[in-house]
Amino acid sequence: MSVTDTPPPPTAYVNARLIDPASGLDASGALLAEGETIVDFGPGLFAAGVPDGMRSVDCGGHVLCPGLVDMRVQVREPGEEHKGTLASAGQAAAAGGVTTMVCLPNTVPVIDDISVVEFVARRARLLGLAKVYPYGAVTKGLEGSELAEMGLLAQFGAVAFTDGVKSIADSATMRRALQYAATFDLLIVQHPEDPGLAGEGVVNASPMATRLGLVGIPPQAEVIFVERDIRLLELTGGRLHIAHVTTADAIDAIRAAKARGLRVTCDTAPFYFALNELAVGDYRTFAKLSPPLRGESDRQAVIAGLADGTIDVIASDHAPEDEESKRLPFGQAAFGGVGLETLLPISLELERNGQLSMIDLLRKLTSAPADLLGLPAGRLERGGPADLLLFDPERPWRIDREDLLSKSKNTPFDSYLTQGRALRTVIDGRTVFQR
């Protein structure tokens, strides 16, 4: 990996398969970046050769597209740097082709104050790796009762609002949050799980949980909150995004709400379309996730939701946990798995299996999350930022947790055989990762 401090000379990326999901472009061509911006791109560019004085990068026929936009990342800084930092998350993001991250507010202190919003933005700029935008907390201290100053936090850079890995459980609080957010046209992001019904559960409620002697979380814990929040959305006229959907019933409810014209969107993570509850195996704590891995019928429903457009975005749900938090009996181990470096290859399985076209898949990883959050990212645009990803969709590799750049290595995909890998990641015209 190499990081440079000064902008490079004008760079011509030639012999590329250019894909821009925002415009529908998928063609052989080239791209010119100068300084921090894209100057030009298209099928006919540099047909007569690259002019003298330009640096040339031969893309080898591989895909050149906008850098990925990951709208659900836990960076752990400030407060839990032993699990992850903005630097380690930035390095992992670069290795995975992610040029823009949106971080959850469950840091220490919580991102419910202007000073923490500014800290995250300042640290990310100094590091010069992936661009980082913060979510603001919906409730102060993520305690689920008193609303944070969302309007003020938005003025200082918070791009949307969520209580992170906690549900906004109280219906009156959720109603107030949606109403308040609606006055500023802000987005509320909900972790859809009824905490009372989930209780002390650690895996999906199923015969497998019974066999393992583990407390299960019923799928109904997800759909109950999805349906409740859709009703509150109807009442308030706000904007609602449901994070990491995992169940057929929840996806059906969102599909129906969209058909009624409600402003509801949702995302899922690669864990939930590539794995099912069997990945827990003999108490594999790296596969202990929140929400839990579900049964095979729910996994298939997630794929169907991606294919028909009900699920708008794929996010990594990157949740680094240190060894001491994971190397415990299953019931005591922490929830979560790292995902920045596996977001692209695992998502590409949907294209290889014929479930999504390449351009539709990349849209869910680039322009869709960027547009949802109003970010200047996720598209190839003349005069726009030169945030680029060059990747080989066919490159085979075995995921090895020890090779991951993430500070924590808790991936449920350890030893998983996959295809597709980032070859070069460019942020503001600078190559920050090269394989």
- Residues noted as catalytic: 317
Token pair recorded at residue 143? 């305690």
Mention every residue, 6+ apart, whose C-beta is less than 8 A from residue 88: 320, 405, 406, 407
Contact 153, 136 (CB under 8 A): yes
Residue 297: count of CB within 10 angstroms of its CB: 11
DSSP summary character for residue 298? H
Token pair recorded at residue 79? 């407060």
- The position carrying tokens 């933005």 is 121
Q: Measured between alpha carbons, how far is 428 from 66 in angstroms, rounded to an integer?
A: 11
Cα separations in angstroms, 164 against 65, 86, 105, 129: 29, 17, 6, 23
Q: Measured between alpha carbons, how far is 155 from 137 in angstroms, rounded to an integer?
A: 14
Contact 409, 327 (CB under 8 A): no
Residue 33: count of CB within 10 angstroms of its CB: 28
Mention every residue, 6+ apart, whose C-beta is less than 8 A from residue 305: 245, 251, 254, 255, 268, 311
Preceding omega of 412 cis (within 30 degrees of 0): no
Distance of CA 246 to the CA centre of its chain: 15
